[in-house]
Structure 1
Amino acid sequence: MKENKFAKFSDQELLDKRKNLKNLFVINAVLIGFLIGISIYGAIKNGFGFFTFFPLIFVFLLIKTKTDSNELESEIKSRDLK
């Protein structure tokens, strides 16, 4: 089974990390929208090509951070923190 990387953190560190993740979600949402907009504009203007799909690679990487937040939330729930 995969080890939870947040198990080593103290309670206060977990709560601080959750607060930072909330800010990161807003930034990620703006970046994802911007990158998808660039891809759509590139597809309409120049057709499909490498630079149409290149920004979508970064979208995938930004979405991957969601798994970290799920692990963090599960660790906070397992410790009964609020």
Structure 2
Amino acid sequence: MEQKDLSQLTSEELLQEAKKIKSGNILDAAIIGFLIGVAVYSTVRNGFGFLTFLPLVYLPIATKNKLRNKEVEKLVKEKGLK
């Protein structure tokens, strides 16, 4: 599925994206927490290995999500939708 440019979204679509932000932040935090837990467990159990650095794989995805969320919040504020 191709994502639209945020500036081309209608007001309704932009409000829907803004509502998804909170659950997306919680999901990102849960995934990062889980990955850190796996990394710590793996390091304690087996020493340094691939799983030790597993959380670093998800960081670019979480960063991209965070930047998109900030852009959505900025557009909502500019349009005065909230």
Does the TM-score normalized on the shorter chain lie above 0.5? yes
What's the TM-score, normalizing by structure 2?
A: 0.82
Kindly, what percent of the aligned residue pairs are identical? 37
Q: CA deviation at 1:77?
A: 1.2
Distance 1:29 1:19 in 2: 17
Alignment match, 2:53: 53
Alignment match, 2:9: 9
Aligned length: 78
Alignment match, 1:21: 21
Distance 2:31 2:40 in 1: 14
What's the TM-score, normalizing by structure 1?
A: 0.82
2:65 maps to amino acid: T
1:25 maps to amino acid: N
Are the aligned partners of 1:35 and 1:59 in contact in 2 as well (CA < 8 Å)?
Answer: no
Distance 1:27 1:68 in 2: 15
Unaligned stretches of 5+ residues in structure 2: none
